[in-house]
Amino acid sequence: MNRLEDKIQKFAELILKSSKIVVLTGAGMSTESGIADFRSPGTGLWEKVDPYEFSSINSYIAHPAKNLEFMLETGRAIFSARPNKGHKALTKLQKLGKLKGILTQNIDRLHHKAKTKNIVEFHGNVMEAKCLQCGKIFPITLMVNQALQGRVPSCESCNGILKPNAIFFGEPLESSVLAAADNMIKDCDLLIVLGSSLVVYPVAWYPQKAVSLGAKLAIINIQDTDMDSEAEIVIHEKIGNVFPNIISLVEEKMENKEKN
Ligand SMILES: NC(=O)c1ccc[n+]([C@@H]2O[C@H](COP(=O)([O-])OP(=O)(O)OC[C@H]3O[C@@H](n4cnc5c(N)ncnc54)[C@H](O)[C@@H]3O)[C@@H](O)[C@H]2O)c1
Ligand SMILES: [Zn+2]
């Protein structure tokens, strides 16, 4: 058995010993669905554009048309993306009764598309649009259609500017979302981090919170993170190369246990 196989076995054992698992996902969860993350060397979005120019609320209000061009370009990949093997493995883990829920930093709704339940979206999502004036939510298609006609998207009720219902730089996270995340982490025995650099706060506090509340931590991420030293097990691999195998192993072992 090589080292990676050892780790896959150990990871599966950790899942088998746990019953209240929470999974924290980042942009690395969706790269295998064709959506670029921010910080992977060579391919991360932040190597191509200045985040503060294109994803801050102030710049959007000042230059909506310029920002919309960038959003439509990155949005295209997100709208057509399908859940990958990793997303599907999480749904399977939930069906096995092990997964309480998902805390995600992703705005792409791929966990929803994979039919996983109990998802907390820290940063909102881009399948909806929100009016900056009255707060009304619309399907994103309304906003996209207006933008494609060269118009600044506006609210049907109050004429206020529409933005994707995702958190931009300079906007606070919603307190109800943070409360839901706190609630989930309070009662978890294993936190699994999948595809996050763990550098964006306050989300990056959650692995520390979970550990300080007595949960175990396991990480799958190509690059190392500052929390690697706190984890029971760390695998520096692509999620799709290891996580589905881990979950299949868990399923197999649960079935064998039932038979005996
Ligand atoms: N898909 C999306 O919705 C999306 C895409 C880009 C950015 N974002 C936003 O970006 C912010 C960035 O923080 P973050 O930590 O989520 O992303 P990040 O870009 O900072 O980190 C992603 C991490 O995932 C790793 N990674 C990439 N592909 C992987 C794979 N196939 N398997 C395992 N690891 C992989 C990278 O090595 C990197 O460390 C978040 O706040 C999120 O809202 C979301
Ligand atoms: Zn409005």
Q: What is the pLDDT of residues 98-126, one digit of tens each?
A: 999 999 999 999 999 999 999 999 999 99
Annotated active-site positions, please?
123
How many Cα atoms are found within 13 Å in the side-chain-facing hemisphere of 56? Answer: 9
For ligand 2, a single-atom ion, the residues with CB < 5 A are 131, 133-134, 136, 155, 157-158, 160
Look at residue 257 and tell me whether its pLDDT is greater than 90: no
What is the residue with the minimal CA distance to atom 29 of ligand 1? 28
Give me the percent of the chain exceeding a pLDDT of 70.
Answer: 95
pTM: 0.93
Instruction: Confirm or reject: Cβ of 84 under 6 Å from ligand 1.
Output: no
- CA–CA dist 39, 45 (Å, integer): 7
Question: Nearest C-alpha to atom 28 of ligand 1 is from which residue?
Answer: 28
Name the residue with the closest Cα to ligand 1, atom 30. 238
Q: Give the ligand with the smallest distance to the CA of 198.
A: 1
pLDDT digits (tens, 9 = 90+) for 175-225: 999 999 999 999 999 999 999 999 988 999 999 999 999 999 999 999 999
Distance CA 11, CA 241 (A): 14
CB 130 within 8 A of CB 155: no
Answer yes or no: is pLDDT of 250 > 60: yes
Task: Specify the pLDDT at position 53.
Answer: 64
For the Cβ of 222 lying below 6 angstroms from any atom of ligand 1, the answer is yes
Location of structure tokens 């391919």 = 43
Residue 201 vs residue 47, higher pLDDT: 201
Q: What is the pLDDT of residue 38?
A: 79
Give tens-digit pLDDT for 20-33. 999 999 999 999 99
Query: How far is ligand 1, taken at its centre, from the CA of residue 245, in Å?
Result: 21
